[in-house]
Amino acid sequence: MAADVDLFPTEGNLGIPLLSSVLLHVGLFALALFGYLIPVGRGESWGGTTGGGGAMSATLVSSIPLPAPQTQTQNVLANQSKGLTQSPPKEQPKEEPKAIPIPAPEAKRVGPRETTQKKPPPKEVAKVEDNKIPFGEGGPVSGPYGSFSAGGAKGGLSFSGGTGDFGSRFGWYVDGVRRKVSENWLKYEVDPNVDTARRVYVYFEIDRSGAPGNIRVEQSSGVPSLDQSATRALQRIDTFGPLPPEYNGRYVAVEFWFDYKR
Amino acid sequence: MKRYTAILLGLFILVAISSLSAQDWIRTGTGLGVEKIRLAAPDFKPVTTDTGTQNLAMTFNVTFFNDLQNTGIFDMVSRSFYPLSVPGAPQEVHLSDWGSPPPNASMLAFGNLGVTGGFLNVQGWLYDTKNPQSPQVLGKQYREQANDENARVIAHRFADEIIFRLGGGVPGIAESKLYFVSARGGSKEIWQMDYDGANQKQLTHLGSIALSPHVSPDGTRVAFSGVTKDGWQILMYSLDLNRLVSFPHFGGDNYSPAWSSDGQNIALSSSRTGNTEIYAVSSTGGNLRRLTENKGPDVSPTWNPKTNAQIAWVSGRTGLPQIYTMASDGTNVVRVTDQGYAVSPSWSPNGQFLAFAWVRHYGPGAPGASDIYIMDIASKQWAQLTHDGGRNDFPSWSPDGRHIVFQSNRTGKTQIWTMLADGSEARQLTTSGENSQPNWSFK
Tell me what pLDDT residue B305 has.
95
Decide if A149 touches B, using CB distance below 8 A. yes
How many interface pairs between A and B have CB atoms less than 8 angstroms apart? 162
The values of phi and psi at residue B346, to 5°, are -145, 130
Tell me what pLDDT residue B317 has.
93
Q: Side chain identity at A237, as an amino acid letter? A: I
Strand partners for A158 = A255, B10
Contacts of B135 in chain A (CB under 8 A): none
The confidence band for A83, taking pLDDT boundaries of 50, 70 and 90, is: low
Tell me what pLDDT residue A200 has.
83
Residue among A155, A184, A239 minimizing CB distance to B28:
A184
Query: Please, what are the domains in chain B?
Result: 22-166 (3.40.50.10070), 177-440 (2.120.10.30)
DSSP designation for B351 = S
Full residue range of the structural domain in which residue A174 is found: 162-261
Contacts of A168 in chain B (CB under 8 A): 9, 131, 133-134
Order of strands across the sheet that contains B177-182: B201-202, B189-194, B177-182, B435-440
Residue A173: count other Cβ atoms within 10 Å of its Cβ: 26
Contacts of B39 in chain A (CB under 8 A): none
The confidence band for A115, taking pLDDT boundaries of 50, 70 and 90, is: low
CA distance B289 to B318: 24
A237, closest residue in chain B (CA to CA): B350
- The CA radius of gyration of chain A, in Å to the nearest whole number, is 53
Cα of A209 vs its chain's centroid, Å = 49
Tell me what pLDDT residue A193 has.
83
Sort strands B289-290 and B277-282 into parallel, antiparallel or unpaired: antiparallel
Mean pLDDT by 10 residues, chain B (443 residues): 38 32 42 74 89 89 94 90 89 89 92 91 93 89 92 94 90 93 94 94 94 96 95 96 95 95 96 94 94 93 96 94 95 93 94 92 79 90 88 95 94 94 92 95 93
CB of A240 within 8 A of CB of A233?
Answer: no
Name which residue leads in pLDDT, B264 or A46: B264
Tell me what pLDDT residue B431 has.
95
Name which residue leads in pLDDT, B182 or A225: B182
Q: How far is A77 from chain B (nearest CA, A)?
A: 27
Name which residue leads in pLDDT, A198 or B323: B323
The confidence band for A181, taking pLDDT boundaries of 50, 70 and 90, is: confident
Average pLDDT for A76-100: 59
| Kind plus residue range of the DSSP H or E element containing B123 | strand B119-128
Q: Which of A141, A149, A154, A179 to mutate to test the interface with B (most CBs of B within 10 A)?
A: A179
Name which residue leads in pLDDT, A145 or B261: B261
Decide if B12 touches A, using CB distance below 8 A. yes
Decide if B4 touches A, using CB distance below 8 A. yes
pLDDT at A9 over 70: no
Q: Which of B9, B25, B95 to mutate to test the interface with A (most CBs of A within 10 A)?
A: B9
Decide if A140 touches B, using CB distance below 8 A. no
Inter-chain contact B17–A160, Cβ cutoff 8 Å? no
Q: Which of B5, B12, B348 to mutate to test the interface with A (most CBs of A within 10 A)?
A: B12
The answer to the question of residue A182 being in a domain is: yes
Tell me what pLDDT residue A97 has.
63
The confidence band for A155, taking pLDDT boundaries of 50, 70 and 90, is: low
Q: Side chain identity at B286, as an amino acid letter? A: G
CA distance B276 to B252: 9
What's the angle, vertex CA A112, arms to CA A110 and CA A114, rounded to 5?
Answer: 130
- In chain A, positions 11-70, which contact chain B (CB-CB < 8 Å)? none
Decide if B138 touches A, using CB distance below 8 A. no
Q: Which of A154, A187, A191 to mutate to test the interface with B (most CBs of B within 10 A)?
A: A187
Q: How far is B106 from chain A (nearest CA, A)?
A: 9
Average pLDDT for A18-23: 89
A249, closest residue in chain B (CA to CA): B4
Contacts of A252 in chain B (CB under 8 A): 4
Tell me what pLDDT residue A103 has.
65
Decide if B1 touches A, using CB distance below 8 A. no
Contacts of A191 in chain B (CB under 8 A): none
Residue among B14, B29, B167 minimizing CB distance to A154:
B14
pLDDT at A259 over 80: no
pLDDT at A232 over 50: yes
| Three-state secondary structure call for residue B255 | strand
Inter-chain contact B16–A150, Cβ cutoff 8 Å? yes
pLDDT at A205 over 90: no
Half-sphere exposure of B414 (CA within 13 A, CB side): 17
Total domains in the fold of chain A: 1
Residue among B4, B19, B131 minimizing CB distance to A161:
B4
Cα of B157 vs its chain's centroid, Å = 16
CA distance A56 to A120: 64
What's the angle, vertex CA A189, arms to CA A237 and CA B34, rounded to 5?
Answer: 55
The answer to the question of residue A175 being in a domain is: yes
Tell me what pLDDT residue A43 has.
41
Inter-chain contact A179–B33, Cβ cutoff 8 Å? yes
**Helix ranges restricted to H, chain A:** 15-37, 166-169, 171-184, 224-235
Most confident of A90-104, A133-147, A178-192: A178-192
Task: Kindly tell me the number of DSSP H helices and DSSP E strands found in chain B.
Answer: 4, 31
CB of B74 within 8 A of CB of B38?
Answer: yes
The answer to the question of residue A179 being in a domain is: yes
Decide if B29 touches A, using CB distance below 8 A. yes
Q: How far is A262 from chain B (nearest CA, A)?
A: 10
Tell me what pLDDT residue B292 has.
95
The answer to the question of residue A35 being in a domain is: no
Q: How far is B127 from chain A (nearest CA, A)?
A: 10
Inter-chain contact B4–A182, Cβ cutoff 8 Å? no
For B167-207, the DSSP string reads TTTPPP-TT-EEEEEE-TTSSBEEEEEETTS-S-EE----S
Name which residue leads in pLDDT, A60 or A122: A122
The confidence band for A104, taking pLDDT boundaries of 50, 70 and 90, is: low
- CATH number, domain of A174, equals 3.30.1150.10
Inter-chain contact A157–B164, Cβ cutoff 8 Å? no
Contacts of B170 in chain A (CB under 8 A): 239, 241
DSSP designation for A49 = G
B16, closest residue in chain A (CA to CA): A153
CB of A244 within 8 A of CB of A209?
Answer: no
- pTM for the predicted model, two decimal places: 0.72
A192, closest residue in chain B (CA to CA): B20
The confidence band for A168, taking pLDDT boundaries of 50, 70 and 90, is: confident
The answer to the question of residue A138 being in a domain is: no
Average pLDDT for A155-168: 63
The answer to the question of residue A132 being in a domain is: no
Tell me what pLDDT residue B2 has.
41
- The CA radius of gyration of chain B, in Å to the nearest whole number, is 24
B7, closest residue in chain A (CA to CA): A164
ipTM over 0.95 threshold: no
Strand partners for B302 = B312
The confidence band for A4, taking pLDDT boundaries of 50, 70 and 90, is: low
Tell me what pLDDT residue A86 has.
55
For A119-134, the DSSP string reads PPPPPPPPP--TT---
What is the pLDDT of chain A when averaged over all its residues?
66
Name which residue leads in pLDDT, B405 or A237: B405
Sort strands B74-76 and B37-40 into parallel, antiparallel or unpaired: parallel
What's the angle, vertex CA B27, arms to CA B335 and CA A196, rounded to 5?
Answer: 90
